[in-house]
Amino acid sequence: MNQPRCIVVCGAGGFLGGHLVADLLRQGRGPIRAVDSKPFAEWLQIFPGVDNVVLDLSDSSACGHALRDARECYDLAADMGGMGFIESNRARCMLNVLISSHLLLAAQEHQLDRFFFASSACVYNIDRQRDPSCAALTEADAYPAMPENGYGWEKLFSERMCQHFHEDFGLPVRIARYHNVYGPCGTFEGGREKAPAAICRKVIDAKFRGLSEIEIWGSGTQTRSFQYVDDCVFGTQLLMRSDYAEPLNIGSTESVTIDQMVDIVEAIAGLKLCRRYLPQAPLGVQSRNSDNTLIRRLFNWEPSTRLANGLERTYAWIHDEMAPRYR
């Protein structure tokens, strides 16, 4: 009768969701319900002592089941991947709106104390990202609206829906715009991986097989900032516990070209490779970097893990995952 209400992590079988559940457990917070549509065998991380549930959150009844007896919901659930997946699955990415819509309705019905929505830097106006030297993106740069097709439009629409649920129904919402999260225990092959994991995989494969060349999507001059997953998890909970209800950047300001990131991974591996560039591969925008003025002002904090340090940990984990296939 007096059991405490739970914290629900949606998308818990995915990369960021798994790290968030792990951190909540380390803090002794709970009870925790971890929800994902994938069968348990496909979850990237799974933990004992958690109410692990397989549910398709694009279905409204599943969302109601997921949020029963809940006090907080972290909506990290989405059908997504790296740029190769996003650019070739725009309709599937748009259908993520079913997840956010049904979760918001369930959160309102169950009168949750907090609802967190994981948005993306893909919401930003693409005209502000056409040159590698473009300025870092502030939260205001999402408007006038011209996000990336498919995934970006869905995220921007769902942001607006979260804000209107807050305005019209009093649901406390928190919205983060994530910038390129990477780290261990993530997807590194199969088509959904993102650039840091893909580059680590390619360099590791070349080292094991004695190859002298790797493929690089684009010209290598595209610029990005990449934030380590531990920083992202910390910033997510910092925002969730705050009173700030507007979209907020959570990302690193350490901008590098793709070629510079390859340089870092090569240094970690202790080799130098020739690069074969694929200009026709899915590229996304030319430049994307986080302006952290607002998050510093609000919380006196910002993601700070240096890319070289985060990539070293990521490389080591992917290396250990890949090594058995070469024996």
Neighbours of 304 (CB within 10 A): 14
Sheet holding 32-36, edge to edge: 51-54, 32-36, 6-10, 70-75, 114-120, 173-178, 248-250
What DSSP character marks residue 183? -
How does 44-83 read in b/e, with b if 16+ C-beta sit within 10 Å?
bbbeeebebbebebbeeebbbebbeebbbbbbbbbbbbbb
Is residue 257 within 8 A of residue 317, CB to CB? The reply is: no
Query: What is the distance between the alpha carbons of residues 199 and 268, in angstroms, rounded to a whole number?
Result: 12
Name the 3-class secondary structure at 32.
strand
182 in active site? no
Is residue 73 within 8 A of residue 134, CB to CB? The reply is: no
Is residue 236 within 8 A of residue 179, CB to CB? The reply is: no
Query: What is the distance between the alpha carbons of residues 294 and 159, in angstroms, rounded to a whole number?
Result: 18
Nearest to 118 by CA among 166, 165, 77, 172: 77
Name the 3-class secondary structure at 124.
coil
What DSSP character marks residue 290? B
What DSSP character marks residue 138? P
**Candidate list 74, 124, 143, 151, residue with the active-site label:** 151
Active site residues: 151
